[in-house]
Amino acid sequence: MPDNANERMDKLTALCKRRGFIFQSSEIYGGIGGFWDYGPLGVELKRNIKNAWWEDIVRKRDDIVGLDCSIIMNPKVWEASGHVGGFSDPMVDCKNCKARFRADKVCTVTFHDGDELLLHVGVEGDTENLKDVFDAATAKANSKTRRRIEKAGENLKAECWRADRQAEVALLCPNCGGGLTEPRQFNLMFETFIGAMQDSSSKAYLRPETAQGIFCNYKNVLDTTRIKLPFGIAQIGKSFRNEINPRNYTFRSREFEQMEIEFFCHPNEADKWYEYWRDARYQWYVGLGLTSSKLRLRDHEPDELAHYARACADIEYEFPFGISELEGVANRTDFDLSQHQKFSGRDLSYFDDETKERFVPYVIEPSGGIDRATLAFLCEAYIEDEAPDDKGQMQQRTVMKFHPRLAPIKLAVFPLVKKEGMPEIARRIYEDVQATGMTAFYDEKGAVGRRYRRQDEAGTPFCVTVDGQTIEDRTVTIRDRDTLKQDRIPADEVVAYVRQRLG
């Protein structure tokens, strides 16, 4: 990560800890790698993201229904899905320092000047970003070698070998320079045991995706709702993957939440629905505030596709640590239903009453991560700008510019001073707002400028202040987090004003 990106990520994680968005899991015991907790503000933000998805995908549509499946399923599910046996990453270990790396994410680089070897080092990185890999390797050279590399000009021969491919040189550890083992498969599913016995007959798995629960219930949903093709089933829930290298804050965790849609359609309509969902899901993120050029839609190259997928696109976000996937949209063909048909012996075909045709539906799958979406919304919201303090002097401020629909607290209410009947009026406004189901915050402590600053860091879009004029004419000021503009409105119109501004 470049220095300023590192600095930006450090500032964001410090704010998340300081203001109660995200904590390390079991922090008082030193934490546990790949597991995170959401604090009072974080849980509201994450819940708002889930609610926005559920409202837009399930409640506002006639062609999608919801589902909530168990986390532990019959182990045969994972044989049918290909996760048992297939769901693993090739890994390499350092024979010296014992560090473990994903084999496709570690490279060994050599630089030659003619026949002379100038440098032979291991670096983390991917051959897709060769320039970054060569830069990382050069950064490891001492100043004398670096000068030789620069001077070599056209004679310089730079080569890079990824640890999961054949190499003509010894593969080296990026940490200590020790030798690496051959790549080995590493199963990503967490195992557990059901009942008293702990043997292979009682082995079960924590689900690594919510999707399989949907496929297993597809027939139940068809039979109980009488919904007709094309239709979708949506689910939000926890998934677990024993990731080798949990990293980049919450981005790659071992326990995370997914929001997945399996959209069933006639094979002839699959291409049309794939394009529809790819574009609709991209627009969903834009509509909730990921409007910057940091959001992008990337179609997979044919050689990137899983063997069962006919098309796939990633919705990606440029995090401070690099461009990474928020959500994948795939045309999974009839692969999953056919597999479950084969392994369960149950008929999962669909009969179309009108055309009298029987077929196994194709599936379009938009599959997103809620923790990744939360992190992207946090990154996008984090802004440093200036705002006037109590004396009108401009001061640096940190403000989280969340979309109002996602903001953890919608409105804060302050009495200017703790006397002259102001706290009573302010409390009444606060209670009226709370009674509507909107999240509100009451604060009477400290200078009003400090109270605004705290709400800016929490991302609260509106702050109401009850002041001397309120006592005279029952009006209050309402401050907009983004424009800093203050309107004076009747105290009994606060709820309507906020409702209208939230849209």
- Measured distance between the N- and C-terminal CA atoms of the chain, rounded to whole angstroms: 38
β-bridge pairing 411-415 and 440-442: parallel
| Whole-number Å distance between alpha carbons of 494 and 146 | 64
| Binding span for ligand GAP by CB under 6 A among 75-83, 368-376, 388-396, 459-467 | 368-376
What are the CB-based long-range contacts (under 8 Å, 24+) for 497-502? 498/410, 498/411, 498/433, 498/438, 498/462, 499/436, 499/438, 501/404, 501/461, 501/462, 502/404, 502/405, 502/410, 502/438, 502/461
Question: CB 458 → ligand GAP: shortest distance, Å?
Answer: 24
Question: CB 253 → ligand GAP: shortest distance, Å?
Answer: 4
204 binds ligand GAP (CB under 6 A): no
The helix/strand/coil state of 312 is strand
| Binding span for ligand GAP by CB under 6 A among 82-90, 118-126, 320-328, 477-485 | 320-328
Cβ proximity to ligand GAP, 337 vs 416, nearer residue: 337
From the list 214, 326, 425, 458, which residue makes contact with ligand GAP (rule: CB under 6 A)? 326
From the list 8, 105, 207, 241, which residue makes contact with ligand GAP (rule: CB under 6 A)? 241
Cβ proximity to ligand GAP, 174 vs 368, nearer residue: 368
Type of residue found at 382: Y
From the list 108, 235, 253, 465, which residue makes contact with ligand GAP (rule: CB under 6 A)? 253
368 binds ligand GAP (CB under 6 A): yes
| Binding span for ligand GAP by CB under 6 A among 176-184, 321-329, 350-358, 485-493 | 321-329
Say which residues have a Cβ less than 8 Å from residue 373's Cβ, sequence separation at least 6: 49, 259, 285, 326, 327
| Whole-number Å distance between alpha carbons of 104 and 127 | 9
| Binding span for ligand GAP by CB under 6 A among 16-24, 80-88, 131-139, 252-260 | 252-260
| Whole-number Å distance between alpha carbons of 98 and 178 | 9
Q: What does the DSSP assignment read for 352-414?
A: ETTTTEEEPPEEEEEEEEHHHHHHHHHHHHEEEEEEE-TTS-EEEEEEE---TTT-S-SEEEE
Type of residue found at 423: P
The helix/strand/coil state of 218 is helix
262 binds ligand GAP (CB under 6 A): no
From the list 105, 310, 372, 403, which residue makes contact with ligand GAP (rule: CB under 6 A)? 372
243 binds ligand GAP (CB under 6 A): yes
Q: What does the DSSP assignment read for 466-486?
A: E-HHHHHHSEEEEEETTT--E
| Whole-number Å distance between alpha carbons of 221 and 214 | 9
Question: CB 213 → ligand GAP: shortest distance, Å?
Answer: 11
256 binds ligand GAP (CB under 6 A): yes
Q: Could you say which residues in the range 86-115 bind ligand GAP, by CB under 6 A?
A: none
Instruction: Output DSSP code: residue 301.
Output: P
User: Which pair of tokens denotes residue 8?
Assistant: 């930006």
Cα dihedral 138, 140, 141, 146, rounded to 10, equals 30
From the list 44, 371, 456, 457, which residue makes contact with ligand GAP (rule: CB under 6 A)? 371
327 binds ligand GAP (CB under 6 A): yes
Question: CB 320 → ligand GAP: shortest distance, Å?
Answer: 17
Question: CB 292 → ligand GAP: shortest distance, Å?
Answer: 19
340 binds ligand GAP (CB under 6 A): no
Question: CB 481 → ligand GAP: shortest distance, Å?
Answer: 28
Cα 55-57-63 angle, rounded to 5 deg: 120
| Whole-number Å distance between alpha carbons of 72 and 213 | 10
From the list 46, 102, 252, 340, which residue makes contact with ligand GAP (rule: CB under 6 A)? 252
Question: CB 480 → ligand GAP: shortest distance, Å?
Answer: 32
Cβ proximity to ligand GAP, 327 vs 443, nearer residue: 327
Q: Could you say which residues in the range 205-224 bind ligand GAP, by CB under 6 A?
A: 209, 211
Give contact residues for ligand GAP (rule: CB under 6 A). Answer: 209, 211, 241, 243, 252-253, 256, 258, 260, 325-328, 365, 367-369, 371-372
